[in-house]
Chain A
């Protein structure tokens, strides 16, 4: 059984990365992450690896929420709100909006591994468990995604979007 202090520490440590992870698929990542944390304390037998369990629950819920949101947007044509992925506007000359745009252009499987590994701190084994693939496949997606990002950001490294 997790103590309240441990739980608050888990929220503080992994909450933001989980929100970023869920943001890939849905427009309400905060709700998805909150539901996942509530589920974690409500389960009768706590999972052995709570972090990986949280990522898996968030992934499934975000995918479902994304599908529902897409259906709703088709009906309502909702106005997309500006999403901030990161707190810092730029780091070492690398603009956050440019980095976000580059990450968003990645294929979904590569983007998922990049986000989970870089900002979630998950190992490739954990990512493989969450995403339902092998660790080597996860590593391959990561390498390919990083190469694509390097090609887009590493050489040019712009501070602003060309049209922004």
Chain B
């Protein structure tokens, strides 16, 4: 650059006051980050499965509706003869036992021994 005019002109510094240097570096940093599409694919697949699940839930085949006017009749239990019940047998045994005891009382009405007592309250007690 031997020309004196060119040398003088080149000493002017271009004005870059309007340039936001920090903003430019920030934007460049964002642009330089490689956008991975893997997480987008995974999120899309997850959303698709959710939609399929929701669709299957909403449009599943309907079951036959129950008739509200239909009466439910409970079946009666089968009739059983009273003699075959266990309680009837027990009652019969109890009755036989009572009959035996009453017959024993009638045979020997006086008890053989007086009933036992803890203390004898007769005159055998020493008096001070």
Contact = CB atoms under 8 A, between A and B. Distances in A.
Interface string A81-118: 00011111001101010010000000000000000001
Interface residues of A, number: 37
Interface string B7-40: 0111111111111110111011101100000000
Contacts of A19: 14-16, 18-19
A15 B17 CA distance: 11
**Binding site secondary structure of chain B:** helix
B31 A38 contact: yes
24 contacts: A7-B25, A8-B25, A15-B21, A15-B24, A17-B14, A19-B14, A19-B19, A20-B14, A30-B18, A30-B19, A34-B24, A37-B27, A38-B24, A38-B27, A40-B28, A42-B31, A85-B14, A85-B15, A86-B14, A87-B15, A91-B12, A92-B11, A119-B12, A150-B3
Interface of B: 1, 3-6, 8-21, 23-25, 27-29, 31-32
